Structure 1
Amino acid sequence: MSSRWTDSPLRYGLVTRVLHWGMGALFAWQFTGMGVKLLLGRHPLTALLVGSHKPVGTLLMLAILLRGAWGLSQWRKRPPHPATLVGRLALAGHALLYALMFYVPTVALLREYGSGRGFAPWGIPLFPATGEKLEWLMAPANLSHGVIAWTLLAVVAGHVAMVALHHFFWRDKTLARMAGKL
């Protein structure tokens, strides 16, 4: 595979960048929809945004799995975190981001399966309708999907704040490595 597609110690490759920024756009869509729902309640804009929440969430789950697999395949090639406290905190922050990104759609999909209604985002059947409600599968999402999703948003905001700190205060190449400027 061409070096522009894969990661290197100096910068992230095209595949990593497309997955990163594409997922960022999908998460922005999801959080915008939920924010509009909280602000406007029942509204045509809310219907458009929230109506796509489950299919977009399913697409996000697929992207998360692809990004995780790709990230593992590129692990030793990527720009390293420095062997400092800040570097270890960055590694922990990224691990937390991945864990939350995986958890939120996973419990939502379990809830969909447990509902017994079936689920076919964009007409692609993922779960058949069984008519049987499985409360034990629905409970984790009912208890935590929303609150963990908002926690994810807070961690994403921290991620963005750290990128701004790197770019504007420390003036290093962190943003350039993910923006494809190197």
Structure 2
Amino acid sequence: MAFRNTPDSFGLITRVLHWAMALLVLTMLALGLRISDMEPGLSNLWLYGLHKTLGFGVLTLIVLRLGWHLISPVPKPIGPPGLAQLAARAGHILFYVLLIAIPISGWAGSSATGIDVMIADRWVVQPIAEVSEAGEAFWFSVHEVLTKILIGLIIVHMLAALKRELAGDGTLRRMIRGRV
């Protein structure tokens, strides 16, 4: 079992990063949707802290994944070049942009509240936005819009992977097993 990618297969590290991020992002979305309907209070404040901690986890993993792809480039796409490959490439780039921008906008919105932003209820991180109600509203609006775009992109990504698998091209198998 290869740790690195080859021109035709995904290595173990890429696959673990992919599926760990998928699980973490889906967990974050579920948690984010849950807390967006809550009024913050002492009994549920820990959920907000958990969301922030996991958000920093997403940000860390996406930076690691980008670094890993510099060391171990992804395999070439399956199938002939064309519009589908171009759309898939654009979708993957959008994933990277969103998975960086969403945690940063949440961090900025949390910073603008004036309340310490903490990881695991233990480490305070530097604020990245001035304390202001207008800044808080702006950054959390950006966070919400980008998250809705991410949800749509995830749905399209999953449907495209399923379509390709049903067509028998092996793309999904390659992300699960590493090779077709």
TM-score band w.r.t. shorter chain: 0.7 to 0.9
The worse-fitting range, judged by mean Cα deviation, of 135-144 and 87-96 is: 135-144
Structure 2 partner of 1:141: 139
Contact 1:107 1:140 in 2 (8 A): no
Contact 2:112 2:131 in 1 (8 A): yes
Mapped partners of 1:92, 1:36: distance in 2: 30
Q: What is the CA distance between 1:112 and its match in structure 2?
A: 2.8
Greater fraction helix: 1
Mapped partners of 1:139, 1:164: distance in 2: 38
Pairing partner for 2:92 from 94, 110, 127: 94
Q: What is the CA distance between 1:107 and its match in structure 2?
A: 1.2
Mapped partners of 2:50, 2:107: distance in 1: 14
Structure 1 partner of 2:172: 175
Structure 1 residue ranges without an equivalent (≥5): none
Structure 2 residue ranges without an equivalent (≥5): none
Q: Which amino acid aligns with 1:53?
A: H
Percent of aligned pairs with the same residue? 27
Q: How many residues align structurally? A: 171
Q: Which amino acid aligns with 1:109?
A: W
1:161 correspondence with 2:159: yes
Contact 2:11 2:178 in 1 (8 A): no
Q: What is the CA distance between 1:114 and its match in structure 2?
A: 3.4
Mapped partners of 1:100, 1:106: distance in 2: 10
TM-score by length of 1: 0.80
Structure 1 partner of 2:26: 28
1:105 correspondence with 2:103: yes
Contact 2:12 2:178 in 1 (8 A): no
Pairing partner for 1:16 from 14, 17, 28: 14
Structure 1 partner of 2:150: 152
Q: Which amino acid aligns with 1:126?
A: V
Q: What is the CA distance between 1:181 and its match in structure 2?
A: 5.1
